[in-house]
Amino acid sequence: MSDVTTAAHIQPDRNLALDLVRVTEAAAIAAGQWVGRGDKNAADGAAVDAMRSFLSTVRFDGTVVIGEGEKDEAPMLFNGEKVGEGSGPACDVAVDPVDGTRLTALGMNNALAVLAVTERGAMFDPSAVFYMEKLVTGPEAADLVDLRLPVAQNLHLIAKAKGVKTSQLTVAVLDRPRHQGLIEEIRAAGARTKFILDGDVAAAIAACRPGTGVDAMMGTGGTPEGIVAACAIKTLGGVIQGRLAPQDDKERATAADAGHDPSRILGTGDLVRSDNCYFAATGITDGDLLRGVRYAKSTITTESLVMRSRSGTIRTVDGEHHLEKWDQYDPK
C-alpha cells in the first residue's frame, strides 16, 4: 500500500464534515423539543440519545475522549466509548450534546449541540480535572496575550492589536461568584463585560469571529469545553490559553498522577495537537452564533456551523428537515 493510500485510510478527510453536521443537527432537534420546559436532564438525555444514534452511521473509527458520562453521569457517550461504524480513519471525538443545558431548560440564548473530531491521539487528556482558567481572543492579538499577565495588560494588548480603545472592548465572562474579582479587574481596565449564564463554547468562538460583539473571553470554565473550543479556534486563527484549575485534593492528586502541572499554560496547540480537526455545532436556541431550532407543521429548520482546520474552511449550513421523515430516525 502506497503512502498516499495509507494516509487516505488513517486520516479523516473533508467528506467527514457534512456527516458531523448531521450528527449535531440530530442532537439539536432532539434537545430543541425541551427548550423552555425546565428539565435540563431530559434535554441532555434526548440530545445524547440522538447524537449517539447518528454517530453510529459515520464512517470512522471513533473513540470518545471528551465525553458526557464521567462528568454528568450520562448513560452514553462516556470517555473511552467507541463510536462510528468502525471503518475509515481512527479519530478522537469530543462531544457536548448540549452546551448549555440550563440555557435550554430556561429557553435562553446560546445553547448549542457540539461535536469535534481530530486524528487519534491529538486531544489533550485532562485526566478528570474538570475546570481550567481560560483566555480566548481572536487572531489580531493571538500572538500577544498571555494568561500570566495582568488582566488590564492583556486587554490593552487586545485593544492595541484591534486598533480600538480598551473602553470599546467587550469581554465574555461566565456569571459565577468566583469571577467577582476578575469582573472588577476588567471594569477597572475600562472594558465592558458580557455575562453568560452557561455555554462558554459559543462565547469562545464568538471571541474569535468578527462581527459578534465579543472581543475576548476570560475566566474559569469547563476543561472539556475548552478542548472542544480549541478545535474550532484552530480554524478561526485565534487563541485559547488555559491553566488547569483542580477544585479539590482529589483532582489535584489526579492531575499529579497524570503528570500535569497546574501552573503550566496550555495553548491551542497543546489542547489539540493536530492541524486536521473538525468542529460542528448546531443551534438549539437562538444565539450570537447560530439560530435555534424552528418547528413548523411539517418541517424543522436548523442552522449549523462546520469548520475544518486543514483547509481553513468555515461553512454555515441551513437545514430543512421533513418532520415525517425525521420521526423515522428519532431514537425515541
pLDDT tens digits for range 104-135: 999 999 999 999 999 999 999 887 788 999 99
Quickly list DSSP for 101-127: HHHHHHT-S--EEEEEEEETT-B---T
Whole-number pLDDT of residue 324? 77
What nine digits make up the cell of 263?
Answer: 501552573
Give 230-260 pLDDT, tens digit per residue: 999 999 999 999 999 999 998 899 889 889 9
Band of residue 68 on the pLDDT scale cut at 50, 70, 90 = low
Give 164-216 pLDDT, tens digit per residue: 999 999 999 999 999 999 999 999 999 999 999 988 899 999 999 999 999 99
| Residues flagged as binding site for substrate | 99-101, 131, 176-178, 198-200, 222
- CB neighbour class for 150 (10 Å; exposed up to 12, middle 13-18, buried from 19): exposed
Average pLDDT over residues 143-159: 98
What residue ranges define each of the domains in the chain, with the CATH number in brackets?
16-121+276-329 (3.30.540.10), 131-271 (3.40.190.90)
Q: Is the pLDDT of residue 6 over 50?
A: no
Q: Is the pLDDT of residue 31 over 80?
A: yes
Band of residue 3 on the pLDDT scale cut at 50, 70, 90 = very low
| Residues flagged as binding site for Mn(2+) | 44, 68, 96, 99, 225
Give 263-307 pLDDT, tens digit per residue: 999 999 999 999 999 999 999 999 988 999 999 989 999 999 999
Q: Is 316 helix (H, G, I), strand (E, B) or coil?
A: strand
Whole-number pLDDT of residue 137? 98
The count of other CB atoms within 10 Å of the CB of residue 103 is 25
Mean pLDDT, rounded, of the chain: 90
Contact status, residue 196 vs residue 221, Cβ threshold 8 Å: no
Contact status, residue 91 vs residue 120, Cβ threshold 8 Å: yes
- pTM of the shown model: 0.89
Whole-number pLDDT of residue 41? 92
CB half-sphere exposure, 204, CA atoms < 13 A: 37
How far is residue 323's CA from residue 237's CA, in Å, rounded to a whole number?
A: 38
The DSSP code for 272 is B
Whole-number pLDDT of residue 17? 84
80 or 195, which is more confident?
195
C-alpha torsion sign, points 100, 104, 106, 107: positive
The count of other CB atoms within 10 Å of the CB of residue 317 is 18
Band of residue 88 on the pLDDT scale cut at 50, 70, 90 = confident
- Residue that is written with C-alpha cell 496547540 in the block: 269
Whole-number pLDDT of residue 67? 84
Give the percent of the chain with pLDDT over 70: 91
Average pLDDT over residues 93-97: 93
Whole-number pLDDT of residue 11? 62
| Residues flagged as binding site | 44, 68, 96, 99-101, 131, 176-178, 198-200, 222, 225
Find the Cα–Cα–Cα–Cα dihedral 142, 146, 149, 151, rounded to 10°.
50
Band of residue 18 on the pLDDT scale cut at 50, 70, 90 = confident
